[in-house]
């Protein structure tokens, strides 16, 4: 695994933990690394110092033993020699063993009680006129500094001392334990300091995070206190200034939205009133004039059975009849009188019937309304259903459609479905997309919702829900005014 991959893994891990964990990890890691370094350095220095001291002590004790053993050896006083060896070992706790050897290599006296190790004798020796000879021996009890010192320049023998490193190992263990205890205490102190530091640093950050979450939900009221005169304090001031600006912008947006909704309501109301007026004029005036024209042309056609203008009168009558049908159709599209006179149920049934006759697409209509709805609600649902049926005829290539309108409590629901080719709702579909926006705008003006569900080759369903309680309150307020 390359260094870059290891570095990436480290940053992935570091980025996945909280700031509190990062600070604690940094403090503990620094203390542990520093403590480990100090411990290793102290052990190394102590080992070097004590090794030198043990070696010097081994030489010093050996020379002292050699000097004091000369006379007893010359007098062949073995009892004094044994006492001297015991005294040397008793006065120097680090001495593991001590013995004396004559020039022929025979052991004169030793501290070994269970028998002298035969291999020990040949491991070290001091030459004549040599000051001393020290070697390091590895035993089953640890390291031993073995020093050989000639007695009277080796003429009467050699003094051997074995100095154990047990005291050094004990000192090293004691030092290591003390350092580890110190590291533990420093780590505990570091954790407390890190917790306090984390609390000091993260308290304003957590306040900023909570305030940011509130702002993300649309609540611009939270303000972050300035904890200190530092960069985080400047950040808190900048955040508060931003939320205040966002609050003002949101208030302006809401006011503009209210004005836009009021304007849209007035535009739609004016549009429907104008459509109603034009439809009434087409029905009452234009249709009657065309009907009179058709009757006059039929009379002319009858009275002039053999006149030259008979064929012309017939053509004019047919044109007038077609124009009358178009005027009736235009009047229905502008504002069906049945919607004002009989209500939404009758208007939708007539709309569905004419749609089926024109486009030859069967439609199942189910309307469950026990009473009339507010006028603006009836108009909105009628226009949405009308636009939906137009889209089905133009784009869906459907074989059938269904319309359901019902009231449940204070909510009126409408569902229009088809089994056509469907489309991807997430993409922009030009004219169809604009039509959906217009329908959704009509529903939202009445505090309602419009949901479109569709997918390619699986048809389309449009769900409309409009609350009636809001409209009832509006109508009551208008009546009181």
Q: Which of 100-109, 224-233, 320-329 has the lowest mean pLDDT?
A: 320-329
Query: For residue 173, is pLDDT > 60?
Result: yes
Over residues 85-98, mean pLDDT: 85
Domain limits, the chain:
3-181, 227-335, 344-481
Across the chain, what does the average pLDDT equal?
81
Q: In this predicted structure, what is the pLDDT of residue 217?
A: 85
Q: Which of 103-117, 128-142, 307-321 has the lowest mean pLDDT?
A: 307-321
Q: What is the pLDDT of residues 184-218, one digit of tens each?
A: 888 888 888 888 888 877 788 788 888 888 888 88
Q: What is the pLDDT of residues 96-130, one digit of tens each?
A: 888 888 888 888 888 888 788 877 777 787 776 67
Q: Hey, what are 36's tokens?
A: 């480990």
Token pair 């009188």 is found at 337
Whole-structure pTM value: 0.49
Q: Measured in Å, how far apart are the chain's first and last C-alpha atoms?
A: 80
Supply φ then ψ for residue 12, to 5 degrees: -65, -45
3-state secondary structure at position 101: strand
3-state secondary structure at position 305: coil
Q: In what order do the strands lie in the sheet with 363-368?
A: 363-368, 401-408, 411-418, 460-467, 449-454
Q: In this predicted structure, what is the pLDDT of residue 438?
A: 82
- pLDDT band, residue 383 (cuts 50/70/90): confident
Q: Hey, what are 472's tokens?
A: 């009832």
Query: For residue 65, is pLDDT > 70?
Result: yes
CA distance 427 to 30: 55
CB 137 within 8 A of CB 160: no
Q: In this predicted structure, what is the pLDDT of residue 146?
A: 87
Over residues 347-375, mean pLDDT: 91
Q: In this predicted structure, what is the pLDDT of residue 481?
A: 46
| CATH number, span 3-181 | 3.30.450.20
Architecture per CATH, domain 344-481, reads as 2-Layer Sandwich (3.30)
**Which has the closest alpha carbon to 28: 194, 178, 177, 202?**
194
Over residues 451-461, mean pLDDT: 91
Over residues 444-451, mean pLDDT: 91
Q: In this predicted structure, what is the pLDDT of residue 174?
A: 87
CB 358 within 8 A of CB 350: no
Q: How many CA atoms lie within 13 A of 297 on its CB side?
A: 18
Over residues 448-452, mean pLDDT: 93
Q: Hey, what are 72's tokens?
A: 């007893």
Percent of the chain predicted with pLDDT > 70: 81
Q: In this predicted structure, what is the pLDDT of residue 29?
A: 82
- pLDDT band, residue 475 (cuts 50/70/90): very low
CB 385 within 8 A of CB 413: no
Q: In this predicted structure, what is the pLDDT of residue 15?
A: 65
Q: In this predicted structure, what is the pLDDT of residue 452?
A: 93
Q: In this predicted structure, what is the pLDDT of residue 324?
A: 65
Q: In this predicted structure, what is the pLDDT of residue 465?
A: 95
- pLDDT band, residue 266 (cuts 50/70/90): confident
- pLDDT band, residue 415 (cuts 50/70/90): very high
Fold match, 3-181 / 344-481:
no
Q: In this predicted structure, what is the pLDDT of residue 480?
A: 46
| Better pLDDT: 108 or 449 | 449
CB 23 within 8 A of CB 198: yes
């Amino acid at each position: 695994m390359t260094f870059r991959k290891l570095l990436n893994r480290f940053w992935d891990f570091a980025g996945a933990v909280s700031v509190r964990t990062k600070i604690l990890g940094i403090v503990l890691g620094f203390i542990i690394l520093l403590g480990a370094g100090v411990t290793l350095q102290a052990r190394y220095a102590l080992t070097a110092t004590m090794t030198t001291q043990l070696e010097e002590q081994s030489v010093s004790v050996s020379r002292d033993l050699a000097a004091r053993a000369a006379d007893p050896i010359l007098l062949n006083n073995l009892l004094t020699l044994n006492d001297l060896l015991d005294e040397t070992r008793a006065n120097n706790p680090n001495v593991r063993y001590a013995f004396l050897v004559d020039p022929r290599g025979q052991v004169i006296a030793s501290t070994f009680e269970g028998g002298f190790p035969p291999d020990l004798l040949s491991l070290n020796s001091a030459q004549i006129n040599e000051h001393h000879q020290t070697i390091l021996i590895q035993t089953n009890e640890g390291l031993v500094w073995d020093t050989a010192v000639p007695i009277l320049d080796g003429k009467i023998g050699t003094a051997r001392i074995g100095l154990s490193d047990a005291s050094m190992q004990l000192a090293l263990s004691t030092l290591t334990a003390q350092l580890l205890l110190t590291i533990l205490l420093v780590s505990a102190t570091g954790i407390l300091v890190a917790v306090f530091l984390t609390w000091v640093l993260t308290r304003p950050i957590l306040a900023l995070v909570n305030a940011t979450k509130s702002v993300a939900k649309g609540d611009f009221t939270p303000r972050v206190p300035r904890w200190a005169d530092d960069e985080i304090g400047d950040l808190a001031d900048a955040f508060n200034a931003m939320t205040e600006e966002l609050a003002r912008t949101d208030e302006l947006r809401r006011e503009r939205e209210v004005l836009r909704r009021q304007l849209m309501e007035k535009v739609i109301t004016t549009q429907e009133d104008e459509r109603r007026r034009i439809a009434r004029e087409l029905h009452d005036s234009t249709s009657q004039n065309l009907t009179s024209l058709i009757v006059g042309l039929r009379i002319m056609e009858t009275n002039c059975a053999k006149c030259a203008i008979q064929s012309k009168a017939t053509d004019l009558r047919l044109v007038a009849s077609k124009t009358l049908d178009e005027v009736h159709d235009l009047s229905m599209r502008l504002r069906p009188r049945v919607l004002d006179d009989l209500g939404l149920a009758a208007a939708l049934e007539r709309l569905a019937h004419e749609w089926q006759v024109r486009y030859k697409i069967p439609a199942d209509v189910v309307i469950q309304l026990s009473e009339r709805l507010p006028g603006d609600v009836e108009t909105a649902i009628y226009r949405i259903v009308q636009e939906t049926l137009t889209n089905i005829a133009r784009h869906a290539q459907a074989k059938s459609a269904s319309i359901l309108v019902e009231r449940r409590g204070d909510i009126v629901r409408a569902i229009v479905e088809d089994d056509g080719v469907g489309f991807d709702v997430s993409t922009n579909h030009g004219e169809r997309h604009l039509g959906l926006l217009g329908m959704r705008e009509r529903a939202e003006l009445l505090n309602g919702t419009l949901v479109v569900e569709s997918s390619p080759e699986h048809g389309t369903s449009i769900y409309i829900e409009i609350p009636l309680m809001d409209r009832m309150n509006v109508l009551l307020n208008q009546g009181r005014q």
